[in-house]
Amino acid sequence: MIIAMLCVYLVLLFTLVHFGVIRFNLFWKASPFIVLLLLNIGLFIPMGWGAPQGSVLLLRNSVSIVPDVAGEVIDVPVEANKPLKAGDILFRIDPVPYEAQVKAIEAQLKLSVTRLAQMTQLFERDSGRGFDVEQRQSEVDQLKAQLESAKWNLDKTTVRAPADGYVTNLGLRKGARVANLPLAPVMAFIDTSDTIIGAEIAQIDARYVEAGQPVEVTFKFLPGQVYAGKVESVLQAVASGQVQTSGAAVASKAVASAQFVVRIRLDDAEIARRFPAGSTGDAAIFTEHVKLAHIIRKVLLRQIAITNYVNPF
């Protein structure tokens, strides 16, 4: 853009000199360098913090599916990358052992309830002890708790989608044995109920970025298109500023100026849901400063959107 503006000035300068409107003296010979300097100092350098631009990445939360109970998989009705609703069945575990556990506890509970009724009747007739009633009541309460836990385990033999989304990289098959181990997920579920769009902004340009400011975004997935949005938040930490608990003394390391991350939300949420996770692009944020540069930034962003037809990087 700065080259284009300088070329326009040169064409205008040569036209005026050609028609004798101005004399081509030392000042006018040096004027292109003066204009270039003024454009940088007065417009393009301030544009960095008045309308900062940065790379954009679209993310979605991934949920590691770990069953709550162990057993043999008897059915996997889900298909990879097929949209699912919250509560749809992902896979089923053989429920027979858990059904047998429920029935066994129900039988014990039935007997304990009968004994409790008998002990209560004897106590009311002054033929039994209050301790026996309390003991039987305790047994009934314990069995009810065990029954509730057993029914919960039985219900968890059917594993359901935790939210709207889809399963990716599906390798689970009927006959496999799964376990409720935190480090042994059986499939990855991509949550599409919320789409995260993050833009990286250089620290020197992020000083005036605030929530609610207008944003324009273009993605390589759909070149030539520019989408409007708003700044949702500015993340207040990056990895280089994080201190982790350790038993070692502080160790010096190279200090790098990591870019800050700005979370963006598009005005049309349906468009955001259409993009695959991992979509990249560019975003421009329009602050309340250097508003003259906003027009130039809009033009530059649209140039990027057009070049996305041929630029894969």
Beta pairing partners, 177? 72
Express each pLDDT in 25-44 by its tens digit: 887 778 878 777 776 777 77
Express each pLDDT in 125-148 by its tens digit: 777 787 778 888 889 999 999 999
67-to-89, 90, 92, 151, 183 alpha-carbon distances in Å: 12, 11, 10, 15, 11
Three-state SS at 170? coil
Express each pLDDT in 89-139 by its tens digit: 999 999 999 999 999 999 999 999 988 888 888 777 777 787 778 888 889
Q: What's the predicted TM-score (pTM) here?
A: 0.74
- H or E element at residue 94: none
Q: Quote the pLDDT of residue 15.
A: 83
CB atoms within 10 A of CB 178: 21
The values of phi and psi at residue 281, to 5°, are 180, -155
d(CA 281, CA 288): 24
Range 80-92 burial, b when 16+ CB lie within 10 A, else e = eeeebeeeeebbb
d(CA 217, CA 56): 8
Question: Is the pLDDT score of 6 beyond 70?
Answer: no
The domain made up of 61-190 is a member of CATH 3.40.640.10: no
Measured in whole angstroms, how far is the alpha carbon of residue 221 from the centre of its chain?
18
Question: What is the end-to-end Cα distance of the chain in Å, rounded?
Answer: 20
Express each pLDDT in 213-243 by its tens digit: 999 999 999 999 999 999 999 988 777 777 7
d(CA 43, CA 223): 28
CB atoms within 10 A of CB 288: 9
d(CA 198, CA 230): 12
Beta pairing partners, 56? 199, 281
Express each pLDDT in 175-201 by its tens digit: 999 998 877 899 999 998 888 999 999
Give 207's DSSP letter: T
- H or E element at residue 73: strand 71-75
Asked whether 166 and 139 are in contact (CB, 8 A), the reply is no
Asked whether 254 and 273 are in contact (CB, 8 A), the reply is no
- H or E element at residue 203: none
Asked whether 93 and 160 are in contact (CB, 8 A), the reply is no
Express each pLDDT in 253-284 by its tens digit: 778 788 999 999 999 988 888 898 899 999 99
d(CA 77, CA 89): 7
